[in-house]
């Protein structure tokens, strides 16, 4: 055992479970449950006690070995989530041993463990279901177990539930038997699971309806929701069946269960959870209304369904040994979900959006010195939630895309097939993956290359300039760690970087990209033959496949800006990457903010949604940094409006017969941004259409969000009250979220405060409260208010999310991200000094660092921007 593993708080290894026979009786009405579990054990060492995981449970029991039965006495370590079961006579190694435990607990309201979720039937009746969320370490809240990913076992589950309810678990239903005690209940027994980790177990009981299909391989697929929503399940059913076929072919391994259920849970903390054969989702991540769902919602559902089904292989069939390798689950599911959705819906232009969303968010967080490596050590359960972030998901997914591009699709796929076949039903470390890929690619240096990306924080900037010794024929590529905080990059860090050079000119692109492996701080390479002369350009991240930023010399930037303006051969991903890098370099103080604004103006004829989405993100962030600064905010708003208003006119409000899916997304974006920056025509049309919506004419769901937000922005108290009324009357969760998010677009402080307060009322589900805070924090009028209200309600929030610390971290990140004065930074630091939150230490460090970056940006750029806008006016 290495030093790192010794620091992990893992259970003693002298006793291990082989099989759990678990029987549960939820009392949903009274918010409690009871159960029994028989655990077949392998005893490895002589012992008079067993230490396992249990939290918020009361346990009694017996242990039997070699025909001898003795009682166990339980003592509890609440902080560690453990119970120690003591007995007088020692257990001997190698003998069949059975541990029988009875336990009781509460169906909690924290969205973790075994918990209660409430919903309303179509007739208005209020009901509740019992459901589970065990990842990362909450199975211990439902039954005593070995709650660690490496401790796999077989589970047989049964549940006693009211006759009217449907019960679902990982296995198929074996039988349902009515009880003869007059209680109106039934016993539902399920088939055995495969050998698997505890965090993948699930059991749900509630009013549920299903649509179903069978794949060509004979897998029964069901999509479940509460009554009245069967038509909203059809889209996900189609995606799920196609995903199963795609992954079975890609991995060269069939899905291992005879059925797969996907369930929409009204109260759910994550987007979804990959429980083997019983995947659970937020309603907005699974349900698509045929009439009222937007294109963005359809794409979101397809992405999440594909992500969770990918886990049935990456995560369930082959599981990480410990949470430091969480990325083996999440990065792969992120990457291959995009691949699967692109296969199913090529018209959606998935990869440009992957670059704009996943890759960009990974680069954004990993530019902080307080980020963490992809492969990050965690010692105990309370630390795990903080690594369910964009590093483990998005950076990891982007790095895998880079590796696939470097190796080739075929070699990468062959390596994954070898990894799957070699480690099925087992646990792995990253090294096992690198070994399989290296064998498939015949590349002995692959592990070394990938360790440079997974075991160190950050990523490089590649500086590109002509070679001083041969300026006409040579290039110098130099890498250094990119860091937003000036002076904090580590000069000793370097990566093994696959640098793709693309070049072109007025006639377009000049052939395929040239790939170089930069394995030191600098490398001199020949300049591509067409990269000089009038109109020529050179791009040093071909296809935006490399997880790095690029900074060019002045001539290089000028040529690329001209190519963007003229439309000369750059791909959508490359055009996105230029503005994304330019904004990041500005935020890091490497280039002035005016450089990004000059580049933004070159995109006036841009057609791609992904590129406009990136521009909008950068401009919104800059708007928040500027705030309501006199002499700057008005001029900045005018500049942004001049960019988006013509786009809104060009694309219009109404859908066209020749619209591509990305055009539909672009329409919503253009209207949002033109309205955000004060375009009068867009605001007036939004108000006109809002009147029709309020009168019952819902209209196009793809522009409805823009209508709601711009109407409340311009409509004052009257518009706010109408919007709130629509929220209260809506039954579609997607529509409720559109309406709720719009409340934060109001323009007065009293309504912004009201939105914050409303977020923590029973009218807003606990998983959605965050969006009220984040929306107000993204409004220049509300960013300080959101922080003040978070401080005021901190104790309440800590109690609400006491077992879901990751969600609490989202609040901290959202409400501090736009703060930008030294006083803000001092206040945040002082508050968290007084209110210690060790499980959020990384999040708090990142928040303080981000505020410091914001402060430095304002000090460097506000005066320059004021001069620019003064000249413009």
H helix intervals, 161-269:
234-251
pLDDT in tens, 276-296: 999 999 999 999 999 999 999
Residue 762 maps to a domain: no
Supply the pLDDT for residue 468: 84
Residue 737 maps to a domain: no
Supply the pLDDT for residue 531: 56
Residue 665 maps to a domain: no
**Domain identity same for 45 and 110:** yes
Cβ-count burial of 93 within 10 angstroms (0-12 exposed, 13-18 middle, 19+ buried)? middle
Matching residue, tokens 């004979």: 218
**Domain identity same for 439 and 463:** no
Please state, in angstroms and as integers, the Cα–Cα distance from residue 356 to each residue in 539, 544, 576, following that order: 18, 10, 7
**Domain identity same for 569 and 469:** yes
Residue 2 maps to a domain: yes
Q: What's the whole-number average pLDDT of the chain? A: 95
Q: For the chain, how big is the Rg over CA atoms in Å?
A: 28
Supply the pLDDT for residue 506: 81
Could you tell me if 171 and 191 are in contact, meaning their C-beta atoms sit under 8 angstroms apart? yes
**Domain identity same for 13 and 156:** yes
Cα separation of 179 and 160, whole Å? 9
Residue 437 maps to a domain: yes
What phi and psi values does residue 281 have, to the nearest 5 degrees? -140, 155
Q: Is 308 a catalytic residue?
A: yes
pLDDT band of residue 872 (cuts 50, 70, 90) is: low
**Domain identity same for 1 and 126:** yes
Supply the pLDDT for residue 177: 98
**Domain identity same for 35 and 49:** yes
Closest CA relative to residue 640, chosen from 708, 593, 685: 593
Domain count of the chain? 3
Residue 5 pLDDT > 60, yes or no? Answer: no
Cα separation of 494 and 570, whole Å? 28
Output the six-digit token pair for 610. Answer: 């992904």
**Mean pLDDT within 612-633:** 95
Phi-psi region of 453 (alpha: psi -120 to 50; beta: other; left: phi over 0): alpha
Residue 730 pLDDT > 90, yes or no? Answer: yes
Residue 55 pLDDT > 50, yes or no? Answer: yes
CATH of the domain at 60: 2.60.40.1730
pLDDT band of residue 1 (cuts 50, 70, 90) is: very low
Cβ atoms within 10 Å of 25's Cβ, excluding its own? 18
Q: Which residues fall within 8 angstroms of residue 400, CB to CB, at 6 or more apart? A: 331, 332, 335
Residue 634 pLDDT > 60, yes or no? Answer: yes
Residue 60 pLDDT > 50, yes or no? Answer: yes
pLDDT band of residue 507 (cuts 50, 70, 90) is: confident
The 8 Å CB, 24+ separation contacts for 487-492 are 488/369, 489/369, 489/458, 490/458
Q: What percent of the chain has pLDDT over 90?
A: 89
Residue 443's SS3 state is coil
Residue 599 maps to a domain: yes
Supply the pLDDT for residue 511: 77
Supply the pLDDT for residue 456: 96
Could you tell me if 797 and 811 are in contact, meaning their C-beta atoms sit under 8 angstroms apart? yes
Q: What percent of the chain has pLDDT over 70?
A: 98
Could you tell me if 128 and 180 are in contact, meaning their C-beta atoms sit under 8 angstroms apart? no
Residue 871 pLDDT > 90, yes or no? Answer: no
**Mean pLDDT within 835-848:** 94
Residue 522 pLDDT > 70, yes or no? Answer: yes
Supply the pLDDT for residue 2: 36
Beta bridge partner(s), residue 27: 32
Supply the pLDDT for residue 487: 67
Residue 257 pLDDT > 50, yes or no? Answer: yes
The 8 Å CB, 24+ separation contacts for 483-488 are 483/367, 483/368, 483/369, 483/458, 483/588, 484/367, 484/368, 484/584, 484/587, 484/588, 484/849, 484/850, 484/853, 485/368, 485/369, 485/588, 485/849, 485/852, 485/853, 485/856, 486/588, 486/589, 486/856, 488/369
**Domain identity same for 352 and 371:** yes
Supply the pLDDT for residue 638: 95
Of 9-13, 161-165, 803-807, give the lowest mean pLDDT range. Answer: 803-807
pLDDT in tens, 795-810: 999 999 999 898 999 9
**Domain identity same for 436 and 567:** no
Cα separation of 746 and 755, whole Å? 9
Residue 181's SS3 state is coil
For the four alpha carbons of 571, 574, 578 and 583, in that order, the dihedral sign comes to positive
Supply the pLDDT for residue 489: 59
**Mean pLDDT within 237-248:** 99
Residue 293 maps to a domain: no
**Residue 819 Cα to chain centre, angstroms:** 23
Domain boundary (415, 431, 454) is at 454
DSSP state of 522: E
**Mean pLDDT within 124-137:** 97
Between 697 and 205, the more confident residue is 205
Supply the pLDDT for residue 529: 67
pLDDT in tens, 66-115: 999 999 999 999 999 999 999 999 999 999 999 999 999 999 999 999 99
**Domain identity same for 423 and 517:** no
Domain boundary (206, 234, 251) is at 206
Residue 568 maps to a domain: yes
Q: Quote the crossing angle between the two packed helices 661-676 and 295-310, to the nearest 10°.
A: 120
Which residue among 283, 308, 573, 621 is the active-site one?
Answer: 308
CATH of the domain at 329: 1.10.390.10
Output the six-digit token pair for 773. Answer: 């805070």
Supply the pLDDT for residue 714: 94
**Domain identity same for 450 and 534:** no
Domain boundary (206, 236, 257) is at 206
Could you tell me if 85 and 99 are in contact, meaning their C-beta atoms sit under 8 angstroms apart? yes
pTM exceeds 0.85, yes or no: yes
Supply the pLDDT for residue 640: 97
For the four alpha carbons of 654, 659, 661 and 663, in that order, the dihedral sign comes to negative
Between 519 and 290, the more confident residue is 290
Cα separation of 420 and 251, whole Å? 7
**Domain identity same for 513 and 393:** no
**Domain identity same for 329 and 397:** yes
CATH of the domain at 470: 2.60.40.1910
Per the structure, the complete domain to which residue 508 belongs is given by 459-606
Residue 532 pLDDT > 80, yes or no? Answer: no
For the four alpha carbons of 103, 105, 111 and 116, in that order, the dihedral sign comes to positive
Supply the pLDDT for residue 873: 56
Supply the pLDDT for residue 6: 43
């Amino acid at each position: 055992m290495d030093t790192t593993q010794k620091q992990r708080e893992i259970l003693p290894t002298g006793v291990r479970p082989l099989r759990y026979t678990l029987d549960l009786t939820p009392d949903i009405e009274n918010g409690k449950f009871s159960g029994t579990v028989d655990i077949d054990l392998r005893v490895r060492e002589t012992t008079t006690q067993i230490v396992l995981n249990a939290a918020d449970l009361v346990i009694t029991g017996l242990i039997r070995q070699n025909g001898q039965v003795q009682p166990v006495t339980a003592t509890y370590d609440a902080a560690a989530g453990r119970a120690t079961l003591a007995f007088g006579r020692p257990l001997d190694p190698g003998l069949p041993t059975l541990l029988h435990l009875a336990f009781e607990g509460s169906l909690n309201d924290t969205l973790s463990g075994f918990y209660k979720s409430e919903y309303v039937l179509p007739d208005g009746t209020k009901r509740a279901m019992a459901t589970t969320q065990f990842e990362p370490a909450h199975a211990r809240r439902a039954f005593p177990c070995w709650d660690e990913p490496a401790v796999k076992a077989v589970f047989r589950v049964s549940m006693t539930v009211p006759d009217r309810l449907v019960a679902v678990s990982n296995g198929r239903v074996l039988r349902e038997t009515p009880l003869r005690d007059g209680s109106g209940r039934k016993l539902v027994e399920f088939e055995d699971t495969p050998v698997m980790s505890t965090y993948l177990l699930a059991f749900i009981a509630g009013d549920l309806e299903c649509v179903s299909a069978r794949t060509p391989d004979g897998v029964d697929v069901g999509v479940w929701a509460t009554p009245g929503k069967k038509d909203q399940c059809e889209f996900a059913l189609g995606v799920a069946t196609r995903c199963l076929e795609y992954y079975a072919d890609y991995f060269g391994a069939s899905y291992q269960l005879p059925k797969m259920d996907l369930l929409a849970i009204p109260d759910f903390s994550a987007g979804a959870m990959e429980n083997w054969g019983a995947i659970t989702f937020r309603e907005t991540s699974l349900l698509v209304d045929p009439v009222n769902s937007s294109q963005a919602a359809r794409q979101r559902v397809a992405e999440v369904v594909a992500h969770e089904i990918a886990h049935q292989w990456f995560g369930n069939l082959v599981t990480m040994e410990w949470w430091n390798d969480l990325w083996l689950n999440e990065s792969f599911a992120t990457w291959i979900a995009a691949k699967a959705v692109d296969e199913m819906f090529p018209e959606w232009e998935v990869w440009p959006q992957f670059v704009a969303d996943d890759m960009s968010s990974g680069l954004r967080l990993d530019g902080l010195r307080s980020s963490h490596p992809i492969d990050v050590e965690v010692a105990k359960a309370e630390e795990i939630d903080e690594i369910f972030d964009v590093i483990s998901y998005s950076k990891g997914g982007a790095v895998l895309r880079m590796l696939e591009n470097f190796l080739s699709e075929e070699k990468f796929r062959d390596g994954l097939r070898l990894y799957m076949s070699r480690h099925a039903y087992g646990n792995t470390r990253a090294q096992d993956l690198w070994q399989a890929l290296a064998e498939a690619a015949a590349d002995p240096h692959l592990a070394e290359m990938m360790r440079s990306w997974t075991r160190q924080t950050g990523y490089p900037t590649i500086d590109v300039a002509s070679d001083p010794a041969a300026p006409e024929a040579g290039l110098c590529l130099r890498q250094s760690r990119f860091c937003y905080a000036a002076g904090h990059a580590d000069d000793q860090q370097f990566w093994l970087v696959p640098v793709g050079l693309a070049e072109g000119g007025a006639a377009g692109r000049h052939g395929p990209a040239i790939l170089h492996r930069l394995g030191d701080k600098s490398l001199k390479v020949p300049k591509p033959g067409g990269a000089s002369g009038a109109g020529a350009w050179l791009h040093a991240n071909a296809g935006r496949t490399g997880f790095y930023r690029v900074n060019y010399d002045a001539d290089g930037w000028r040529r690329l800006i001209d190519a963007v303006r003229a439309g000369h051969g750059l791909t959508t991903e490359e055009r996105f990457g230029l503005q994304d890098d330019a904004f990041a370099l500005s935020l890091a103080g490497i280039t002035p903010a005016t450089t990004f604004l000059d580049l933004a103006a070159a995109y006036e004829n841009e057609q791609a949604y992904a590129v406009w989405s990136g521009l909008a993100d950068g401009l919104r962030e800059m708007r928040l940094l500027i705030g309501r600064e006199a002499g700057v905010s008005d001029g900045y708003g005018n500049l942004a409006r001049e960019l988006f208003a013509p786009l809104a006119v060009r694309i219009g409000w109404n859908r066209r017969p020749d619209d591509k899916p990305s055009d539909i997304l672009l329409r919503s974006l253009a209207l949002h941004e033109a309205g955000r920056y004060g375009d009068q025509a867009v605001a007036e049309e939004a108000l006109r259409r809002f009147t029709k919506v309020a009168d019952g004419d819902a209209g196009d769901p793809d522009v409805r969000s823009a209508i709601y937000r711009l109407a409340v922005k311009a409509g004052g108290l009257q518009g706010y009250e109408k919007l709130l009324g629509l929220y209260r009357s809506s039954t579609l969760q997607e529509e409720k979220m559109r309406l709720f998010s719009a409340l934060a677009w109001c323009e007065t402080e009293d309504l912004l405060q009201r939105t914050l307060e409303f977020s923590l009322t029973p009218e807003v589900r606990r998983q959605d409260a965050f969006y009220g805070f984040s929306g107000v924090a993204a409004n220049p009028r509300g960013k300080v208010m959101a922080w003040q209200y978070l401080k005021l309600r901190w104790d309440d929030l800590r109690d609400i999310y006491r077992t879901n610390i990751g969600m609490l971290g989202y609040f901290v990140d959202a409400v501090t991200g736009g703060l930008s004065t030294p006083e803000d930074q001092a206040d945040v630091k002082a508050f968290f000094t007084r209110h210690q939150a060790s499980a959020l230490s990384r999040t708090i460090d990142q928040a303080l660092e981000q505020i410091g970056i914001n402060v430095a940006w304002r000090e460097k750029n506000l005066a320059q921007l004021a001069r620019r806008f003064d000249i413009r006016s």
